[in-house]
Structure 1
Amino acid sequence: MEDVRCIFYGRQKVIQTSWTDANPSKRFLSCPNNGCNQFAWIDPLMCSRAMKIILGLLKKANKLEARLQTRNERERKLWICLVAL
């Protein structure tokens, strides 16, 4: 990829990935300066079916991660109780 620089700050843009509901897993170039809102999409638009599938998988993964965290907290509490005996 060619050297693409921000026109406002002169810094080289970085590739990031959007995980919003409107643009799941879509890559874009953006300025690394947090105050700069300049960006450009890299990936083409996805069909609506692909977006629904990706969003469904993301929601499922988030739900599983939350369940795992809850179980890990319970296990830690049980170990504390067991050691305290």
Structure 2
Amino acid sequence: MEDLRCICCGRQRVIQTSWTDANPDRRFFSCPTNGCNQFTWVDPSICSRAVQIIPRLLKKVNKLEARLQTRNRERKLYICLVASWCIILSMWFVM
């Protein structure tokens, strides 16, 4: 097993996942200290086809999540609008 200490500062390295377009879903050991750029790949590099496919899939997922958030926000605004009109109408009938 490889030594999990950073050679620069001696702190315990942590495992992280790269989500860059060049290395999507590839794990690596990195130092938790800011400014220390020591890292070592854990996983072997993936095939070129996966490098093309994974970033596109991630972009689609992000776009769908953004659309879902927009729809949830619109739904909340619609509920607030209906509730406000109900309150206004109930106040109008009371007078």
Is TM-score (shorter-chain normalized) higher than 0.5?
Answer: yes
Deviation, structure 1 residue 45 = 1.1
What's the C-alpha RMSD, in Å, of the aligned pairs?
1.3
Note the C-alpha offset of 1:83: 1.2
- Runs of 4 or more consecutive aligned structure 1 residues displaced over 4 Å after TM superposition: none
Q: Distance in 1 between matches of 2:33 and 2:64?
A: 33
After TM superposition, give the deviation of residue 14 of structure 1 in Å: 0.4
Alpha-carbon deviation of 1:3? 4.4
What amino acid sits opposite 2:31 in the alignment? C
Q: Which runs of 5+ in 1 are unaligned?
A: none
How do residues 18-57 of structure 1 correspond to structure 2 at under 5 angstroms?
A: 18-57=18-57
Pair member with larger Rg:
2
TM-score, with structure 1 as normaliser = 0.91
- Equivalent residue for 2:6? 6
Instruction: Report % sequence identity.
Output: 65
Structure with higher helix content: 2
TM-score normalized by the length of structure 2? 0.82
Secondary structure of the corresponding residue to residue 11 of structure 1: coil
List gaps (5 residues or longer) in structure 2: 86-95
| Aligned pairs, number | 85
Deviations 1:32-81 (A, max 9, x none): 11221111111111111111121121111011001001111111111111
